Amino acid sequence: MKQLLFVLLFTLSLFADAKMLPSTPFNEIQKAIASGKRVLVEVGSDHCLSCQKMGKLLYTIK
């Protein structure tokens, strides 16, 4: 049980230092969509607990 707790806390600490990605201007997104590129649009709130948790995971994927 202690090992599981250690692994969980260690994993959470890795996500605690994630940096925010820079935003992209809307006109650049429109151009990318028009050219057929795949675009990931992230929508969330700084005040939503679920959004914060999902956001940390999303930054590790990118």
Q: What is the pLDDT of residue 53?
A: 80
Answer yes or no: are the C-beta atoms of 62 and 17 closer than 8 Å.
Answer: no
Tell me how far apart the alpha carbons of residues 7 and 57 are, in angstroms, rounded to a whole number.
17
Place of tokens 């995971």: 57
For the chain, what is the radius of gyration of the CA atoms?
A: 16
Which pLDDT score, from 0 to 100, does residue 11 have? 73
pTM, rounded to two decimals: 0.41
Alpha carbon of residue 49 to chain centroid: 13
Question: Cβ(51)–Cβ(57) under 8 Å?
Answer: no
- Count: domains in the chain: 1
Give the domain extent around 29.
2-61
Helix/strand/coil for 10: helix
pLDDT string in tens for the chain (62-residue length): 778 887 877 776 666 666 666 788 989 999 999 999 998 877 777 778 887 787 777 777 65
